[in-house]
Structure 1
Amino acid sequence: MSNKQQNSLLPKEKQLISEVLALYGFRSDWQGKRSNGGMNNSTFVLHTRDADYVMRQYETHNDQAKIAFEHGVLIALSNTDFKLHSPTPVISLSSSSGKTADQESKESNHSNEENRQTYQLVQDHITGTFKVVALFRYLEGVNPVWDSPEQLRPLGRAAGNLSTALAKLELELKPVYPPYYRIDEAYPLCSPERLLEMCASPPETLKVCAEELEQLLVELPGLFKALRGMEQLPHQIVHGDVNASNVLVDPEGNMSAILDFEFATWDLRVMELAVPMSDMLTMDKSEEWMWQAQANLVQGFREEVELTADELKAIPQLILLRSLDVVMHFISRMLEGTDKPEVATEQIVKLKQRMDWMGRHENQLRQLLTN
């Protein structure tokens, strides 16, 4: 197998890709390049004679149980009436019925895919460690740029349509991630108790945001308390991370795909709306723009999903919970040595900004949600 015109690929990356493609039964030449794949994995776009693919090497989420659940969700979702595209895992040669991935790219045979291998364990030739690698069908499109508030209505509609489709899934696999509101189970290295200790006595790595941490020490216990009783709200499988970086639009700006189901789990249905609402609060936009965008986002989602009064009531706390979860995630990565402290610091500042915003505007937000 040759690998011509590999752009900026390193020799070790070319070797890895060749080994992985062989496991999937490719016989044709290929070309490839590195792509932006987020902070939890390495991503490569690969071009073969018959089709284009995305190869993902899982880095910090290198847990086979989590990946198996993610792929199970994607395969089940592909058999629903979900209106947008989503990543399709490629079946490996070792678990297929003798067909190469090149051959399967020309067919649409999904029978018994849930029982077939969709990822491979490969050894890093430098560290000697094994990592999970998977191939997905390539999806055309680009991440959207929010130029007008009206663009958020299609995002809300897409998130709502996804929620409706995911609600229909019945999987034998059990999710690994706990629900957002079980924040006490999610991050052993940064439990709520440990986080409050850091707020009271910031480590040297977080001294730059010591003022924000001191203020959070007063405010976080109230948020932790507000999470009690959330288990009574409607649950289903959720994507849990719908935002601009995880959706694609076509050349006309229409929503075309939702990506990155790594954090899919059994959680509150309403988190699918609360997550994008939370992510919008620190955008570099005017207050007027933001309120219009939030209204469009909520309207689009509610065109697809009928939320209960209790779900709408919980959204302000869930918006803050999303930001708190991100903080605990990146503090954990800092303690593991995966990320620099600046990444966690940025998220701590954003959490404080969101909590300040909520303190000023919660009543207005609740009015928007009940209109």
Structure 2
Amino acid sequence: MHIIDSGSLNNSEQQLISTVLSSYGFTSNWKAQRGKGGMNNSTFMVEINEECYVLRQYETHNDPMKIAYEHEVLSALSRSEFELDVPVPVSLPEDKHATFLAVQDHSSGRSKIVTLFHYREGHNPVWNTPEQLSGLGRVAGMLSSVMARLPISLAPVYPPYYQIQEAYPLCSPEKLLQLCTSPPDTLMACADDLHKLQEVLPDLFHTLRGMEDLPHQLVHGDLNASNVLADSQDILCAILDFEFATWDLRVMELAVPMSDLLTMDKEQAWMWEALEGLIQGFRQQVSLEPEELSVIPTLILLRSLDVVMHFISRLFEGTDEPEVAVQQIRKLRERVDWMKGNEKRLRKLLI
């Protein structure tokens, strides 16, 4: 098996791809290029005999239990009535039930989990009009309705968002508050943001109590523009990256894209129209209880807080440069400021 026109890849990446493709039984020549990927994995676009695949090397999620759970969710979705496409892992030739393998990463010396997916044509949407967010809300609601009924035999690996104190041992609530009081050198660029967050985080952690009484189900947990695909007509056609799928609050599937929307560089009138469309699109598919709607402002901030603790943990692990955590800390502070001035109006929108 030979490489064709993959000069942009380094030797370690070429060796990785060759090893993986051989394990999947491919013997033909191939060509590949690095994909955009996400913050939690490395992605390569691979072409073999004019057939395209996506090779994913997991980084943050380099855990067999996490990948097995993700792939069971994908398998169940592929058998369901869900109308959009989802990633389809390629089975290994010696075991049709096996959809990932561990390979040696020669650049780090560590064992990494790798999966080969069938390629789905499409592009990440750019939110140019508020009406597009109504489509995202509708798709999120459609997914939520189907996920509520999926038969999953494995136990979820990730805790619900509101159990954030269990999710990040390297950045517990206590550790985060300590960082707010005395920022390390690596986070001095956002020291003012951390000091401001110190005033609101204790109350935010306190408001998470009692969330366990709200309706729960299986959720994707990370719906945003980078995790959906649109077709040539800009109609959403696929949902990607189910790595964070877990048993959580049903309403979290709406709160996550709402939270991500708040830091877009848009005029306020545009933002409010987009928020209204997102909410209405979701509620066309899912009937939410008043108690669920009432906690959305808290969950919007919780989503951003979770991202902060995630990337501070990656900073401490040495996975990311400080700038990544700094950016997310600033986004959380921006959302906190936004909520102070707009929560009353947001709650009226949610009624």
Shift of 1:143: 0.4
Counterpart secondary structure, 2:199: helix
Give deviations 1:44-67, integer Å, cap 9, x for gaps: 111122631100011122111101
Shift of 1:186: 0.5
Structure 2 residue corresponding to 1:357, chosen from 333, 338, 347 = 338
Indicate whether 1:338 and 2:319 are aligned.
Answer: yes
Counterpart secondary structure, 1:94: coil
What code does the residue aligned with 2:271 have?
M
Equivalent positions of 1:158-237 (< 5 A) are 158-237=139-218
What code does the residue aligned with 2:272 have?
W
Give deviations 1:60-104, integer Å, cap 9, x for gaps: 2211110110011001110101111000111111213xxxxxxxx
| Structure 2, unaligned runs of 5 or more | none
Indicate whether 1:62 and 2:43 are aligned.
Answer: no
Equivalent positions of 1:1-371 (< 5 A) are 1-49=1-49, 51-96=51-96, 116-370=97-351
What code does the residue aligned with 1:299 have?
Q
Give deviations 1:276-299, integer Å, cap 9, x for gaps: 000011100001000000001111
Q: Distance in 2 between matches of 1:257 and 1:271?
A: 20
Counterpart secondary structure, 1:95: coil
* Greater mean alpha carbon deviation, residues 163-172 or residues 138-147: 163-172
What code does the residue aligned with 2:60 have?
T
Q: Distance in 2 between matches of 1:200 and 1:50?
A: 56
Q: Distance in 2 between matches of 1:117 and 1:58?
A: 16
Counterpart secondary structure, 2:275: helix
Q: Distance in 2 between matches of 1:24 and 1:314?
A: 46
Determine if contact 1:23/1:94 at 8 Å carries over to the other structure.
Answer: no
Shift of 1:11: 2.1
Give deviations 1:262-320, integer Å, cap 9, x for gaps: 11111111111000000011100001000000001111111111111111011000000
Number of matched residues?
351
Counterpart secondary structure, 2:200: helix
Counterpart secondary structure, 1:32: strand
Determine if contact 1:281/1:354 at 8 Å carries over to the other structure.
Answer: yes
% identical aligned pairs: 61
Give deviations 1:232-266, integer Å, cap 9, x for gaps: 11111111000001100001000010101111111
| Structure 1, unaligned runs of 5 or more | 97-115
Q: Distance in 1 between matches of 2:208 and 2:38?
A: 29
Determine if contact 1:70/1:262 at 8 Å carries over to the other structure.
Answer: yes
